[in-house]
Structure 1
Amino acid sequence: MKYDPIDSQLFVKNRKKFMQRMKAKSIAVFNSNDIYPIGADATMPFEQDRDLFYLSGADQEETILILFPDALNPKHRELLFVRETNAHIAVWEGAKLTKEDATRVSGIQTVYWLSDFDKIFFDLMTEAETIYFNTNEHYRQAVETQTREDRFIRKCKQNFPAHQWAKSNPILQEIRGIKEPEEIAIMQIACNITEKGFRRVLEFVKPGVFEYEIEAEFLHEFVRNRSKGFAYTPIIASGNNANVLHYIENNQECKEGELILMDLAAEYANYSSDMTRTIPVSGRFTARQRAVYDAVLRVKEQATKMLVPGTLWAEYHKEVGKIMTSELLGLGLLDKAAVQNEDPDWPAYKKYFMHGTSHHIGLNTHDYGALKTPMKANMVFTVEPGIYIPEEGFGVRLEDDVVIQESGEPFNLMQNIPLAAEEIEELMNA
């Protein structure tokens, strides 16, 4: 792994939080992700299942975690199974986790080879009454591929039909949404790497560069700072491309007078950052571009102040919509009649700002976290309003990542990344 080692005490704390919420005589199992094929002998780069990583720190394929707080043998209350390594594997694939390495990374004292899993798991299930299955219940999930977890659940239901079943996801939604200090520190590193990439690009952009060249500049800076690369597929959208919310082709020339909307950020140690900035190709905003930019910035600043303990996510978005409506009226994009006659289910402002303002961020860019209950301290949210004007050939979105504080305004993990229009112009013309 490129990243510096993470103190195993983080994963010890995470497991403790999960196990405290488990039913009596219950067992929970977490599987690593598969390595997915491309074709021939090629595979996609491995990405660890984020729940398994959150609870163990094990960043390796063919890994299984078992949590069984009521196991009769104290050594079997936390178990990690890893793929047995040997000299041949070390030569062809590189070093894998030894049992000692797995303990050092995870803080789990009992580590077995994966080949022992079926025998040990059967024995533990004779003591358990309930098994927690780790299903993906994220509100945006749209998974069509059968995962290693899916195959395990199907096999387990066949082999142990008399056991009760429970869901890990409600527990994970609750505990993953509230970040530990160590997690926030890792996310700060990801944001700092993103800042380095953005400052590099401000010096690079000029009329005639291509969107993919900007992507390459970011990637260079990210990897040289120990990131695997982008936390999600980068959006580098010049001109009217910005009005396609998930534009990822990144293959067009950036022309004089246009704006470039860049929604991209670095990952670090599997944690995401999520940034959007909009900059002028020529280094100066036009008067109209500046007016829209400043309107988006005002919405962002006011929305950020609302992210405090007790705020309800749904109500927050309604309030942001009211602020955006006021700004769109001021820009002449809406008139009072359109607002007065709007459809409550699709307010007038949605014509120019059609997506949400904030989502949880952490091990996933769109992270797990409670959304139907009041916000709590140490939740980390994006703030990302935008205004999209196809008829004028540009769009503006601005986005930072903020940590909700026990009192006062949230802490902006991206406070050092240039944002004000004056600073953007100054750095681009230095």
Structure 2
Amino acid sequence: MKKEFFEGNRKRFYESMKNNSLAVFFSGAEIRKSNDEYYPFFANRNFFYLTGLEEKNIILLAGKDSAGKAWEKLYLLPPDLMAERWTGKRLKADEAAELGGFANTGYVQAFDGEFHNCAYSGNYEYLYLDAFKYEENDIDTPVHLFQKRVQNMYAFLKREDAKAILGRMRTIKQPCEIEAMRKAELITCEGITRMMQASKPGMYEYQYKAEFDYALGQHSPAGSGFPSIISAGQNNFCIHYYSYKGQAHDGDMVLNDVGASYDNLVNDVSRGFPCNGTFSDRQKLLYECALRTSDHMFEIIKPGMKMSDVDATARRYNFEQLKEAGVCKDFADIGTYMWHGGAHHVGYDCHDAIVTPETIAPGMVFCVDIGIYHEEWGIGFRIEDNCLVTEDGCEDLSAMTPRTIQEIEDCMKKGLY
């Protein structure tokens, strides 16, 4: 991504701020794994969206005065020879300018004092923070620790939700973002194709994962956009399964819910296929029901629809297919076979932008996710594709990944080894 993209994102955010406002964003801190080990650092997605930077422990402070003029300052880690010998060079001011377009920088040690001066200057009434927690007991990150300080020392600043603004912004993808997602789709397609072509009865789930990871490693240092879900047989009945310890036995279906990351944009694609390369009659029956539902959704999705209608329509249409197949007689029982929603936004996160507009608009990208789980028959899978909303309809970004029964069986016949 070019720096102009991130400069434009900040400009749009500042335009959405109220006059007499401050905004503070944190890149985040490393999370300790054990002893002296840390989990790989993952920058806050909204911070990256605004700055283009993935450096830990840096801060963006911005303000908007009474005349509506915005200013910004980026706070970086100071040079540290010993730290840099162990963990790499720290971001410099000229690099921040090149990557994110920042002209005004300082060191993080100055942030507290400069924020204090701004807060008590009498010029600012509001404070925008991105302090969302997915669950209440999630660990405190730097923004949550800062929020507690604000409550104690700067309670006179009225709190505003930055995530709500950024959620709406992120929902509409810009051309460079769509291009990155297309590249991620190609990598994901290659990985899924490898799994299909390598498949045979007796393979372990971790071996399928190794095939997918190989494709990721050949094209992008970022690797997977989220932890891969790869399961076989009865393990398919755990929607978010991450153990990779199971074995695919003859007649089992293999389920994968995976996605590559490219320029920090991810995709989310699911396929189910028989490990032996040939769908059984029951597998065909259920798979065709889900496929017809997915195809129908791509035919009707267009600007102006409601996101809630996408999910409701998918459930109703999937029920009609299962009813015609003699599997589900009453719509009240659809939850027995359809365990999750039929759509969710995707972008910088697999489940992107928690706060999103309800009405579908051009530039949105979301997953059409049709799953069928028949525990009695031991068949569970989902067909999940990425839908780009266009001016008059939509496009399946993941259409190149084998999807129909014929495409999957033909792909698997080619073999990999």
Q: What is the TM-score of this pair, normalised by structure 2?
A: 0.94
| Alpha-carbon offset, residue 163 of structure 1 | 2.0
Q: 1:401 aligns with which of 386, 395, 401?
A: 386
2:273 corresponds to which residue? 279
Say whether the 8 Å CA contact 1:241–1:394 is kept in structure 2: no
Q: Which amino acid aligns with 2:407?
A: E
Say whether the 8 Å CA contact 2:308–2:358 is kept in structure 1: no
Write out aligned runs for 1:49-198 (5 A): 49-70=44-65, 77-125=71-119, 126=121, 127-136=123-132, 141=135, 144-198=138-192
1:392 corresponds to which residue? 377
- SS in structure 2 of the partner of residue 175 of structure 1: helix
1:11 corresponds to which residue? 6
1:349 corresponds to which residue? 334
Q: 1:216 aligns with which of 210, 213, 221?
A: 210
* Distance (Å, rounded) in 2 between the aligned partners of 1:168 and 1:174: 10
Write out aligned runs for 1:253-292 (5 A): 253-292=247-286
Q: What is the number of equivalent residue pairs in this alignment?
A: 412
* Distance (Å, rounded) in 1 between the aligned partners of 2:67 and 2:98: 24
* Distance (Å, rounded) in 2 between the aligned partners of 1:376 and 1:216: 37
Say whether the 8 Å CA contact 1:177–1:369 is kept in structure 2: no
| Alpha-carbon offset, residue 373 of structure 1 | 2.6
**Equivalent pairs: percent with the same residue?**
28
1:248 corresponds to which residue? 242
- SS in structure 2 of the partner of residue 30 of structure 1: strand
The 3 A distance-change label for structure 1 pair 181 and 80 is: same
| Alpha-carbon offset, residue 141 of structure 1 | 4.8
- SS in structure 1 of the partner of residue 345 of structure 2: coil
Q: Which amino acid aligns with 2:225?
A: A
CA RMSD of aligned residues (A): 1.9
| Alpha-carbon offset, residue 162 of structure 1 | 2.1
Q: 260-269 or 210-219, which moves further after superposition? A: 260-269
Q: Say whether residues 1:422 and 2:417 are aligned partners.
A: no
Q: 2:321 aligns with which of 319, 327, 332?
A: 327
Say whether the 8 Å CA contact 1:312–1:371 is kept in structure 2: no
- SS in structure 1 of the partner of residue 352 of structure 2: coil
Structure 1 segments, 4+ long, off by >4 Å, are 71-74, 140-143, 369-372
Say whether the 8 Å CA contact 2:19–2:67 is kept in structure 1: no
- SS in structure 2 of the partner of residue 401 of structure 1: strand
The 3 A distance-change label for structure 1 pair 47 and 71 is: farther
1:225 corresponds to which residue? 219
* Distance (Å, rounded) in 1 between the aligned partners of 2:129 and 2:359: 26
1:32 corresponds to which residue? 27
Say whether the 8 Å CA contact 2:191–2:216 is kept in structure 1: yes
Q: 2:301 aligns with which of 291, 307, 313?
A: 307
| Alpha-carbon offset, residue 371 of structure 1 | 4.6
| Alpha-carbon offset, residue 156 of structure 1 | 1.7
Q: What is the TM-score of this pair, normalised by structure 1?
A: 0.91
Q: 184-193 or 146-155, which moves further after superposition? A: 184-193
- SS in structure 2 of the partner of residue 388 of structure 1: strand
Q: Which amino acid aligns with 2:344?
A: H
- SS in structure 2 of the partner of residue 385 of structure 1: strand
Structure 2 gaps, min length 5: none
| Alpha-carbon offset, residue 108 of structure 1 | 1.7
Q: Say whether residues 1:359 and 2:353 are aligned partners.
A: no
Q: Which amino acid aligns with 1:128?
A: Y
* Distance (Å, rounded) in 2 between the aligned partners of 1:371 and 1:14: 17
1:344 corresponds to which residue? none
Q: 1:386-407, CA deviations, whole angstroms, 9 ceiling, x for partnerless residues? A: 1101100111211111111121
Q: Which amino acid aligns with 1:402?
A: C
Say whether the 8 Å CA contact 1:71–1:77 is kept in structure 2: no
Say whether the 8 Å CA contact 1:384–1:398 is kept in structure 2: yes
Say whether the 8 Å CA contact 2:18–2:64 is kept in structure 1: no
* Distance (Å, rounded) in 2 between the aligned partners of 1:177 and 1:73: 25
Say whether the 8 Å CA contact 2:362–2:389 is kept in structure 1: yes
Q: 1:221-252, CA deviations, whole angstroms, 9 ceiling, x for partnerless residues? A: 11221142222222112112212212221211
* Distance (Å, rounded) in 1 between the aligned partners of 2:98 and 2:240: 40
* Distance (Å, rounded) in 1 between the aligned partners of 2:67 and 2:81: 36
Say whether the 8 Å CA contact 1:134–1:168 is kept in structure 2: yes
- SS in structure 2 of the partner of residue 48 of structure 1: coil
